[in-house]
Chain A
Amino acid sequence: MMHIKQEAEERHVLTITVDNEAGILAKIAGLFTARGYNIDSLTVADITENHAVSRITIVTHGPPSQIDQIHAQLERLVPVHKVVDLTEVGPHVARELALIKVAGLGEKRVEALRLADIFRAKAVDTTTESFIFELTGAPDKIDTFVQLMRDLGLVEVGRTGIVAMIRGPHEA
């Protein structure tokens, strides 16, 4: 009998600056599927005044040798300017934004609002029976908040995925 083998995996945050041209996102996302790499989170937005360059942040996991391959394969794409593995480079800030809709009355509604205050979530929409909270932070903070809201009438969650940046005064 044959069984599929598993290797120990690591989680890495990569930032990729790319030419802002048609199909570039498909090219990058497609590279991951074509070569069997994982995408845990992917964000992309234009970062230049003339809309020429976008920054993509990808969170991936895999064995170290695969992470190295991902880095190399991304670099070899023509529209890719730079790939930075923030997990390799050093301490970095990773943040995510979430919108969390919670519906409830009475004690549950009060508790939701109290927890939101503790987490510094902002109510960006209110009805008499619901809130939409806006929360930014590290992904595990958002995970924790969403978990707490489950008992308090969680309706819907939207998350942006991670954007990340190296700490300190320099560009990574």
Chain B
Amino acid sequence: MTEERSGANILVESLVKQGVEFVFGYPGGAVLPIYDALFGDERLRHILVRHEAGAAHAAEGYARSTGKPGVVLVTSGPGATNAITGIADAFMDSIPLVVITGQVPTALIGSDAFQEADTVGISRHCTKHNYLVKDPAELAGIIDEAFQIATSGRPGPVLIDIPKDVQIASALWNDAPAQRRQRYSPRTEGTADEIAQAVEMIARAKAPVFYTGGGVINSGPRATALLRALQEKIGAPVTSTLMGLGAFPADHADWLGMLGMHGTYEANFAMNQADLIVCVGARFDDRVTGRLDAFAPNSEKIHIDIDRASINKTVRVDLPIIGDCATVLDQILTLWGDRKGQDISAWKTRVEGWREKKSLSFPLSDKAIMPQLAVQRLFELTKDKDPVISTEVGQHQMWAAQYFHFFGPNKWLTSGGLGTMGYGLPAAIGAQLGNPDSLVIDIAGDASIQMNIQELGTATQYRLPVKIFILNNEWMGMVRQWQELTYESRFSQSYSESLPDFVKLAEAYGWKGIRIENESQLDAGIQEMIDYDGPVIVDCLVAKESNCFPMIPSGAAHTEMILYGDTVAGTMDDEAKALV
């Protein structure tokens, strides 16, 4: 069946064909034809956010928690520029998004028209690919390719900018699958040589460690299962980046916890002392490596990554394998068969020694709730429900990563690469839509939560029982901590002055508000939050000046961690200050 349809209509049909459930968006002048095409269409559910940044983060939360691409629809100019932060966030963290932006009519492009912005230009370096559509006849093919690019290879955001006249003009359309241009086909398998070499390197290692990242999650649940299967054969301890939490169960005897700047002592020492690092879907980020010339000095390194550009970017590796994590892990497992590796019991004894340092222990206070304790209790009281956790960015995010524990993929949503404050609430909204029966909690800080606080209204509108758990210390805690440790406690602009009353704010939006002021209220407050059938803000007042430890100061090596109780004096040299 071939017929004439408007561009807007072709767009809607194409999204339906892709199996899209939700469109996170906000209407405006340049997308009115698309909104009109959506009107009354029950095949797509439009989620009206309160700010376009919220749309992009909500789509990210949906994508990260379901493994499906998130779809965003915003208008031209400010609609598009507001969404850019979320797009850049998805680009850094490899989250599949398809972002539709309206554009001024083709004839007005370049004339500084009302609500015109060079969206394709602005988004060029924070999208995996982008398009300006000039003819509605191209739309079906472009949308099909956009979904392919967003979801295959290293996932990421793809933007489609559609001028208003292209939405209105008609073209021939039929419901046959779009003709796909065969131009994007990332390599997914390792070569036989590479796999053989990997097996040989693993078989001779006496002190191996798995260093896993978000790539394992992106590769899908099969990658998680294969990682566990391979680990079982080899017995090596496993650490993960922030983005990879959940790929390996946190209650496993060989789990080391997160590595890097706020990683555990055992994870960082294992990386430093290993003779073989098997990196699976991680990218040797600066937050992970610390000082590069002191990073894992005596190890051979295997790096499995689908993105060739992530290989040898900062750390030289001995064996790069370009491919999909699940596929390559499967290849290694198959070739490994019933092989026996070296006896690594001496290595594991050393790892146990580092565990004894108990680097996540923290002193309790009788005056205030320690934020670490608050996260521990939140974990203990919710773990049976297998919750989905999102976070904002800062100290609370690191405490969540350290003290909340994950047992499966797609349960942990956080802004790792870009470090976007304001990510957590909209991400939780997207996750709740994608997982209507799950308990979804945004672990937040008092400063971050205010960055997309307007999305409270979105949760109210769609009756989403999202929970926000604020660790309120009245500071931009991570900034305060760096100023204390690096700038001799000159707290420049990091105090959260004039905080709102979060309980009243919750109530103003039709949410429930709960305040927890001391330890005796902690468990009951958390329980009340869980039991309430609707959205809740918990304003948990915590010790104001707690620092997040362990910490590798910038410019330091993995072996130079600061733990609780270490005294830090003086100021850093300029070389260290200049690092991010």
Contact = CB atoms under 8 A, between A and B. Distances in A.
Interface of A: 1-2, 19, 22-23, 26-27, 30-31, 34, 65, 68-69, 72-73, 75-79, 81
B165 interface: no
B183 A78 contact: yes
A75 B307 CA distance: 10
B334 interface: no
A73 B312 CA distance: 12
B124 A78 contact: no
12 contacts: A2-B578, A19-B183, A22-B132, A34-B125, A65-B316, A68-B312, A72-B313, A73-B309, A76-B308, A77-B129, A78-B149, A78-B184
A56 to B, nearest CB: 16
B150 to A, nearest CB: 11
B308 A78 contact: no
Nearest to A34: B125
B578 A27 contact: no
Q: Which 8 A-B pairs have the closest CB atoms?
A: A72-B309, A2-B574, A78-B129, A34-B125, A72-B308, A73-B309, A76-B309, A2-B575
Given A2-B574, A23-B132, A78-B184, A31 B125 contact: yes
Contacts of A23: 120-121, 124, 130, 132
Contacts of A26: 121, 124
B372 to A, nearest CB: 35
Interface residues of B, number: 23
A7 to B, nearest CB: 13
Nearest to B309: A72
Contact of B307 (A27, A76, A81): A76
B508 to A, nearest CB: 42
Contacts of B309: 69, 72-73, 75-76
B253 to A, nearest CB: 38
Given A2-B573, A76-B308, A78-B183, 19 more contacts: A1-B574, A2-B575, A2-B578, A22-B132, A23-B124, A23-B130, A23-B132, A30-B124, A31-B125, A34-B125, A65-B316, A69-B313, A72-B313, A75-B308, A75-B309, A76-B154, A76-B307, A78-B128, A78-B129
A65 B312 contact: yes
Interface in B105-150: 120-121, 124-125, 128-130, 132, 149
Interface string B295-307: 0000000000001
Interface string B162-202: 00000000000000000000011000000000000000000
Nearest to A27: B124
> Most chain-B CB neighbours within 10 Å: which of A1, A26, A68?
A68
Contacts of B573: 2
B311 interface: yes
Interface in B497-552: none
Interface in B273-319: 307-309, 311-313, 316
A155 to B, nearest CB: 35
A21 B128 CA distance: 16
A22 B313 CA distance: 29
Interface of B: 120-121, 124-125, 128-130, 132, 149, 154, 183-184, 307-309, 311-313, 316, 573-575, 578
Contacts of B311: 72
A1 B154 CA distance: 41
A1 B311 CA distance: 33
Contacts of A81: 183
Nearest to B312: A68
A25 B311 CA distance: 25
Nearest to B578: A2
A154 B184 CA distance: 49
Nearest to B181: A19
A51 to B, nearest CB: 16
A82 B186 CA distance: 13
Contacts of B121: 23, 26
Nearest to B156: A76
Contacts of A79: 129, 183
A25 to B, nearest CB: 11
A124 B125 CA distance: 43
Nearest to A69: B313
Contacts of A73: 309
A78 B153 CA distance: 11
A74 B308 CA distance: 10
Contacts of B313: 69, 72
B96 to A, nearest CB: 14
A46 to B, nearest CB: 17
Contacts of B124: 23, 26-27, 30
Contacts of A31: 125
Contacts of A65: 312, 316
A30 B128 CA distance: 14
Nearest to B158: A78
A30 B125 contact: yes
A69 B124 CA distance: 19
A126 B237 CA distance: 78
A115 to B, nearest CB: 45
Contacts of A72: 308-309, 311, 313
A49 B535 CA distance: 61
Nearest to B310: A72
Chain B CB within 10 Å, residue with most, of A1, A27, A76: A76
A36 B580 CA distance: 17
A75 B316 CA distance: 19
A37 to B, nearest CB: 12
A27 to B, nearest CB: 6
Nearest to A66: B313
Nearest to B184: A78
A68 B311 CA distance: 10
Nearest to A5: B575
Nearest to B308: A72
A87 B128 CA distance: 28
A64 B328 CA distance: 28
A23 B127 CA distance: 14
Contacts of B575: 2
B395 to A, nearest CB: 28
Nearest to A22: B132
Contacts of B312: 65, 68-69
Contacts of B130: 23
A19 B358 CA distance: 56
B263 to A, nearest CB: 26
A28 to B, nearest CB: 10
Nearest to A31: B125
B548 to A, nearest CB: 26
